Chain A
Amino acid sequence: MPNVSMTVNGKAVSAEVEPRTLLVQFLREKLSLTGTHVGCDTSQCGACVVHVDGKSVKACTTLALQHEGADVTTIEGLAQNGELHPMQAAFKEHHGLQCGFCTPGMVMSAIDLVNTHPNPDEQTIREGLEGNICRCTGYQNIVKAVKAASDNMGG
């Protein structure tokens, strides 16, 4: 079996994987980072979004082996010293989650959205989150949270 090495949440990791192992399987099964979820089998739901070299990626759509040497951040790597990332804090403050299943992917996508579109308006946020499905919240409070977080990020 081939070996893959990468940095995940700031830590160097290395493991043997079957070539068909998806990045999301690598994170969940090899590294026990179960915060990254799998909600579909057609790359549509965004529950699996992580950051690879700072950009959001659907981890169900890419093989672990493709990320040799990459710098990966998952939902587990966001909070620093017990302090929630501003996006996480805003989701809590504005009730942007209910069952929480879509939340890790939603938060990771939202951070990338704000990084690429500082100070987004409502329409930009709604369109920017088009790749993430949430069945619980109706998105309204997610939009509110992203807006609020964008005020606290990037500055």
Chain B
Amino acid sequence: MSSETGIGASVRRKEDKRFLTGKGRYLDDINRPGQAYGVFLRSPHAFAKIKSIDIAEASKAPGVVAIYTGSDLADDGVGGLICGWGITSKDGEPHKAPAHPAIAVDTVRHVGDQVAFVIADSVAQAKDAAELIEVDYDELTPVVSGADALASGAAQVHDDVPGNLCYDWELGDEAAVDAAFSSAAHVTKLDIYNNRLVPNAMEPRAAIGDFDAGTDEIILYTTSQNPHVARLVLSAFVGIAPEHKLRVIAPDVGGGFGSKIFIYAEETVCAWAARKINRAVKWTAERSESFLTDAHGRDHHTTAELAMDANGKFLGLRVNTIANMGAYLSTFATSVPSYLYATLLAGQYTTPAIYANVKAVFTNTAPVDAYRGAGRPEATYVIERIVERAARDLGMSPVELRKRNFIAPDAYPYETPVIMTYDSGNYPLNMDTALKLIDYDGYAARKADSESRGKKRGIGFSSFIEACGIAPSAAVGSLGAGVGLWESAQVRFNPTGSVTVFTGSHSHGQGHETTFAQLITEHLGVPIENVEISHGDTGKVPFGMGTYGSRSLAVGGSAIMRAVDKIVEKGKKVAAHLMEASVEDIEHAHGVFKVAGTDKQVTMAEVAFAAYVPHNYPPDLEPGMDETAFYDPTNFTFPAGTHIAEVEIDPDTGVVEVLDWAASDDFGNVINPMIVEGQIHGGVAQGIGQALLENAVYDTETGQLLSGSYMDYTMPRADDFPSLKIETTNTPCPGNPLGVKGCGEAGAIAAPAALMNAITDALGVEIDMPATREKVWHAAQSVQQAAE
């Protein structure tokens, strides 16, 4: 195969032309004939009873088509939003799942909660009318911090959830951990807060509900990472329409990072309202609405303790976490601080005993759910900060301490004490590669140089692991998932030899249209320009589970490979007939079928043509060359690596300069190195953003979101970091046909700990994220004063 466009080539992206010329088709670019516009009236209060809503004046405003409140939805039998993963508390009770109406009925529980939906002929008219709605609120005292929510006397967010406790869950062997601590020579303890983040995909969420009265079909255009899952939930649980009468289209989507996995109130209401008014209705979030209502990420308060023997060998890890769920449970919220978090607490180490207790709590804040990495960044952050801290406590090199505890390259499959079986890896190699990239040998001299200029220099490590390729259906089912996590693919040859691949994965920046095409080019010999990837429309592609958890290539790509296998199998039969040979003698490679030991051959294009024009064709074979496959993974995949950050701090100003960044990551086989590097860049940037800049802050008294716009929530910008040095290593994943592990989340998982370890190394004291100038300056001053 031409190595220029096959596996392993940095093929330039097929999708770029439309994005670069302004021809992308994002949701707000779509308009339906005669469409109306919807605007949500949102709660200005964090917690309040709704005493009354008066829409009389507003209904008379110019252009108003309809105004709906929570009771209209309820009266119409529209169900609430659901959480699709059941977690069982340690006392055997299922997690608490309070009602989550798409529009609040009698109580608002966070600022931005939906109160009414106003539909008018224009956005401006809908906004004007919304201002005329009179809502009489009875304000209540809110609770916003996860830690405060458990205190006695805290506001009760839901009447049916005593003490705001959603679940109290545990994983691991507590007695074994207790025993490890009692025999330990050293114990390191750390309290850390993993700050709340707002995902901030650059395209705000949006939806158009459309209704075809002739066919009774509702068509929902929505900014989704998983349109079939949206259809399933809206049909089976919310009751919008039967599945076959609901088509969900997720067109070009401008970034997701997890935030567009979930089934939100707004798309639900648009789909429902379209039938009510028998007219399309479009809603596009303004950025302030995104801040208030996109599911947020992280927000963990954690206490961790690490027990070690006299040589720094890890004996046991105990972790207690309070996870803030926000006001309601978002679609997969419960799984994030449990099975996506505690199961990764072994990290890259041989720690034999681990116990985690997680209390998930409700507060009067936006719902929290998966955000790039989802649980795994929180786990890596806990482990890598406490390991670094332990090295400092022991006076040992953090590199040496890690190396002493790394799982050995020959130890796979390796079973951790927290129910994961790592399948492959080479952690020391990643560490050594990253050390070389950052020129660790020259670090001491660089540090001395910084000191001579009155600056503080620090270096920080993060040896991360994640579980991707989500996920084996039976395994996640046994852990409470309400769905299977396989993927689908359909490989359709057209009679002239070009190919359309229909995939259940969804691309919102990942470059599937290129990477997936490379698979077809490599294996079936079809020129890459003759391969089209189709995704994002339940009316076109087979039922699929969508894109999140770095799963598209490992699961969706593997499904494509299964479909390719079926094509080859059928192609062999056609080829055998065409060449008058027996099927057993046909060999296939890269789209060429040969009779073994002869020079007779036919191409895939000829075979496909014969299958559609079957004049000369095997009598017992179906015509056509179009195969569908479903792939259910056998295990998670385990990308891992080491990132090293080097910073310089000006103690007089608190300014942290990220001077250098080295990353060595093992993603297994790589299909398109250019795209993989891009994913690392983006992930690390988000991780640096979390560590240095970003923070979703709610006022503890009023529950107002203080960082609710780009004026207050600091997004990483181009001048906030240097260019990164990246290398990949490869231990192929044994679990899937491509040998791939997934790379989408790694940067965001690895980066925060590396950067915070560098900053705290420079400062000599522990601080929490984000390391703002003010916080760093205070820390630097306190160290200075202590020294004087």
Contact = CB atoms under 8 A, between A and B. Distances in A.
Interface of A: 18, 20, 28, 33-42, 44-45, 47, 74-76, 78-79, 84, 88, 91-93, 95, 97-104, 107, 122-123, 125-127, 129-130, 132-143
Contacts of B17: 84, 92
A135 B719 contact: no
Interface in B145-201: 200-201
Interface string B732-760: 00000000000000010000000000000
Contact of B509 (A45, A99, A125, A139): A99
8 contacts: A37-B28, A91-B16, A97-B16, A99-B201, A100-B20, A103-B20, A138-B747, A139-B685
Contacts of B21: 35, 75-76, 78-79, 84, 88
Given A39-B204, A42-B709, A101-B202, A138 B20 contact: no
Nearest to A103: B19
Closest 6 CB pairs of A and B: A35-B22, A100-B19, A101-B254, A138-B685, A99-B509, A138-B681
Given A95-B675, A100-B16, 18 more contacts: A37-B28, A41-B287, A42-B709, A44-B710, A74-B22, A75-B20, A92-B12, A98-B682, A100-B509, A101-B203, A102-B254, A123-B719, A125-B718, A127-B719, A136-B509, A136-B678, A138-B680, A140-B681
Contacts of B716: 138
B581 to A, nearest CB: 45
Contact of B24 (A35, A127, A130): A35
B632 to A, nearest CB: 28
B410 interface: no
Contact of A92 (B16, B287, B719): B16
Given A42-B287, A42-B710, A100-B19, A34 B29 contact: yes
B508 interface: yes
Given A41-B287, A138-B684, A100 B254 contact: yes
Contacts of B204: 38-39
Contacts of A139: 681, 685, 717-718, 721
A18 B682 contact: no
Contacts of B201: 99, 101, 135
Contacts, number: 178
B682 A136 contact: yes
B545 interface: no
Contacts of B124: 18, 20
Contacts of B709: 40-42, 44
B203 A76 contact: no
B610 interface: no
A101 B255 contact: yes
A138 B689 CA distance: 10
Contacts of A74: 22
Contacts of B511: 98
A97 B20 contact: yes
A56 to B, nearest CB: 15
Contacts of A93: 12
B13 interface: yes
Nearest to B30: A34
Contacts of A78: 21
A98 B716 CA distance: 16
B216 interface: no
A126 B721 CA distance: 9
B767 interface: no
Contacts of B718: 125-127, 129-130, 132, 134, 139, 142-143
A104 B21 CA distance: 8
B253 A99 contact: yes
Q: Which of B29, B255, B711 has the most CB of A within 10 A?
A: B255
Q: Is the interface of B mostly helix, strand, loop or mixed?
A: loop
Contact of A35 (B23, B287, B723): B23
B15 A100 contact: yes
Interface string B355-387: 000000000000000000000000000000000
B686 interface: yes
Contact of A39 (B19, B203, B510): B203
Interface in B487-512: 508-511
Interface in B90-130: 124
B666 to A, nearest CB: 20
B328 to A, nearest CB: 25
A123 B287 CA distance: 29
A97 B675 contact: no
A102 to B, nearest CB: 5
Contacts of A91: 16, 20
Nearest to B256: A99
A39 B13 CA distance: 24
Given A39-B203, A99-B253, A130-B718, A45 B682 contact: no
Contact of A95 (B26, B674, B686): B674
Interface in B633-663: none
B19 A134 contact: no
B750 to A, nearest CB: 13
B678 A40 contact: no
Contacts of B719: 123, 126-127, 129-130
Interface string B673-695: 01101101111111000000000
Nearest to A20: B124
A79 to B, nearest CB: 5
A140 B724 contact: yes
Contact of B724 (A42, A45, A138): A138
Contacts of B717: 129-130, 132-133, 139
Nearest to A40: B287
Given A97-B16, A135-B257, A40 B22 contact: no
B3 interface: no
B87 to A, nearest CB: 30
Interface string B198-238: 00111110000000000000000000000000000000000
A141 B673 CA distance: 13
Nearest to A93: B12
Nearest to A18: B124
B723 A140 contact: yes
A141 B678 contact: yes
A99 B201 CA distance: 9
Given A100-B24, A135-B200, A137-B682, A41 B288 contact: yes
B73 interface: no
B731 to A, nearest CB: 25
Nearest to B719: A126
A17 to B, nearest CB: 12
Nearest to A107: B20
B522 interface: no
B252 interface: yes
A120 to B, nearest CB: 12
Nearest to B201: A135
A93 B12 CA distance: 6
Contact of B203 (A18, A37, A79, A126): A37
A110 to B, nearest CB: 10
B715 interface: yes
